[in-house]
């Protein structure tokens, strides 16, 4: 049995740890200014966004509350299934709150669209969407995101919380996964 390191499965590094930290600091500063007097409810979409979410919240210089939800449209594949499943819902009343919905990656946009519609029914004061990565793809009915870390090519990426079959989340960078690892 061949035992490889996760790094050996990476075709190339798209964004380094340093580039990621610099961009997260910039986003944190922007969001901290926007919500300085509002005490936003920061909502992390688990599990992929957890690394980004934690670093982003640390960079925001404002009061906030945090919560976690779990939703997915992938179900262990490399492409969206076309259906969103809400696994864990928020436990905090969202009425008249400024929500900041933090996602790891926007591909089809289906999960983000589903969550925005769901949370709009809960009567928040506002919903701001933040995605660490936004794939440069043209899809029908794909909504934009308010804040994004990086726009990336349409390739399968892992690292910094993003996974394939629950592996690679711990890589400190964003890398393109070799195709032989998921085919």
Q: Give the pair of three-digit tokens for residue 85.
A: 């499943």
**Which residues does the annotation mark as catalytic?**
107
Q: Is residue 10 part of a domain?
A: no
Whole-model pTM: value is 0.90
Check residue 83 and give its pLDDT. Answer: 81
Q: Is residue 122 part of a domain?
A: yes
Q: Give the pair of three-digit tokens for residue 177.
A: 């996964």
Residue 77 and residue 32: Cα distance in Å, rounded? 35
Q: Is residue 9 part of a domain?
A: no
Range of the domain at 150: 20-73+81-154
Count structural domains, the chain: 1
SS3 content of the chain, % helix, strand, coil (to 5): 25, 30, 45
The CATH number of whichever domain residue 132 belongs to comes to 3.40.50.2020
Q: Is residue 90 part of a domain?
A: yes
**3-class SS of residue 122:** coil
Exposure class string for 21-50: b at 16+ Cβ within 10 A, else e = eebbeebbeebbebbeeeebbbbbbbbbbb
Q: Is residue 14 part of a domain?
A: no
- Over the chain (183 residues), the average pLDDT of each successive run of 10 is 80 98 98 97 96 98 97 63 84 96 91 93 98 83 84 95 94 96 83
Q: Is residue 149 part of a domain?
A: yes
Q: Is residue 164 part of a domain?
A: no
Q: Is residue 175 part of a domain?
A: no
């Amino acid at each position: 049995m061949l035992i490889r390191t996760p790094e050996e499965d990476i075709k190339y590094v798209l964004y380094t740890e340093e580039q990621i930290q610099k961009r997260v600091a910039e986003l944190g500063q922007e969001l901290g200014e926007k919500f300085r007097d509002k005490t936003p409810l920061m909502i992390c979409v688990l599990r992929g966004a957890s690394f980004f979410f934690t670093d982003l919240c640390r960079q925001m210089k404002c009061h906030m509350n945090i919560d976690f939800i779990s939703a997915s449209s992938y179900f262990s594949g490399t492409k969206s299934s076309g259906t969103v499943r809400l696994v864990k819902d928020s436990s905090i009343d969202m009425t008249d709150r400024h929500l900041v919905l933090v996602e790891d990656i926007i591909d089809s946009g289906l999960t983000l669209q589903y969550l925005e519609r769901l949370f709009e029914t809960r009567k928040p004061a506002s919903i701001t969407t933040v995605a660490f990565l936004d794939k440069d793809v043209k899809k029908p009915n794909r909504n934009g995101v308010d804040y994004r870390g990086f726009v990336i090519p349409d390739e399968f990426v892992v690292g910094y919380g993003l996974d394939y079959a629950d592996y690679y989340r711990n890589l400190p960078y964003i890398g393109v996964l070799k195709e032989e690892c998921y085919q």
